[in-house]
Structure 1
């Protein structure tokens, strides 16, 4: 069962689990569980995805309840007429909030994009971020006997593929659990010491003006057991409440 965090006559939002694909893909033929099909069976009607989350990322994921509603709402997501808030655990300590404006070249899939242009210009990519908490753990990942980590809040202002993961890697503060852009030593430490086997990136909040009621809508997704266990271990407060707010 998926956790439904919001539902009305127009849309439904769930807290997507880490590791679950949004919909069926020929690139992952062996997979048998998908958010889209699971949600359809759970609520007894077809759903239409309005945006996506990477497979290893958890958090707020919104579906329209008809193709007509999807066609009306899709431009909102495509034109970024909403605010997305993510939380992540990254390597090292970031001391102050900032905005990273660092263009990213389009990331192509070797199979799905094999006929796409390889020489496209880098696209604008902007991420606002701020540190929320720090920890220094008594485990070595290199020359020092301890290792530092930071809890980050991030708000992407653009929607490039793997933008947050690539931007944090560019800052030399890769997100823990990122097997593509991250650092294997830190990923291994979290698996072996903290029993954390996921990407520590969570889409915690999505806020926008409801296209039909015209009221502000704030959708919030709570943190899973891995996150909660790490909060307790590191002595960090849960960074935000878990309820959804319709104003």
Structure 2
């Protein structure tokens, strides 16, 4: 059963687990479970995704309960009136506060995007990054006598593909567990010492003004016990409330 975080007559939000695809894709033909179909079966009605999360990212994922509600919410997204908050565990000591303003060239898939414009100019992309906590482990790593981590919150102002992952890598603070835009040596170290095999990126909050009621809606998702156990070993709080 998917964890339902919010539901009314127009929309429903779930806490998507890491590793679960949002919907069926011919790029992942072997997969048999998808958030969209699982939620449809759970509610016994059609659902319509209004945004997406990368497969390895967990957290708040919103669906509409009708095509009309989906169009209404899409207009909210297009108007930039959605506020998203993510938490990420990164390599190194991240800066206290940094607005990353770096255009990103669209990442194209060799199969799905083979007819797309390969020379499309980079698109503007901005992400606000705030460092919430830092940790040092007295374990030698490479030429360094210790290993450092940071917990950062990210507020994307635009919605480019893999934007947060690419922007944090641009800062030289890649997300732990990111096999495409991260540091695989640190990824392996993390698995060996903490035993958690996942991208450490969490969509923790989604805020918007409801298009039908004009009420401000804030939907939050828990990090989960496995993640809190890792944070505790890093010397941070193991209480979900401290990460809201």
Q: Within the alignment, does 1:121 sit opposite 2:121 as a pair?
A: yes
Q: Which residue of 2 aligns with 1:86?
A: 86
Q: Which residue of 1 aligns with 2:179?
A: 179
C-alpha contact 2:178 2:199 (8 A) present in aligned 1:
yes
- Label 1:15 to 1:157 Cα distance change in 2 as closer, same or farther (>3 A): same
Displacement after TM superposition at 1:243 (Å): 11
C-alpha contact 1:222 1:242 (8 A) present in aligned 2:
no
Q: Mapping of 1:208-227 within 5 angstroms?
A: 208-227=208-227
What is the RMSD computed on CA atoms of the aligned residues? 1.6
Q: Within the alignment, does 1:157 sit opposite 2:157 as a pair?
A: yes
Unaligned runs of 5+ in 2: none
C-alpha contact 1:221 1:242 (8 A) present in aligned 2:
no
- Label 1:156 to 1:243 Cα distance change in 2 as closer, same or farther (>3 A): closer
The number of equivalent residue pairs is: 244
Whole-angstrom distance in 2 between the partners of 1:238 and 1:72: 38
Partner secondary structure for residue 241 of structure 2 = coil
Q: Show CA shifts across 1:37-68 (max 9, x none).
A: 01111111110000000000000000000111
Q: Show CA shifts across 1:12-44 (max 9, x none).
A: 000000000000111100001110001111111
Displacement after TM superposition at 1:82 (Å): 1.1
Give TM-score scaled by structure 2 length.
Answer: 0.96
Greater shift in the superposed pair: 221-230 or 211-220: 221-230
Please identify runs of 4+ aligned residues in structure 1 that moved more than 6 A: none
Give TM-score scaled by structure 1 length.
Answer: 0.95
Q: Mapping of 1:199-210 within 5 angstroms?
A: 199-210=199-210
Whole-angstrom distance in 2 between the partners of 1:28 and 1:125: 28
Whole-angstrom distance in 1 between the partners of 2:243 and 2:46: 25
Q: Which residue of 1 aligns with 2:140?
A: 140
Partner secondary structure for residue 52 of structure 1 = coil
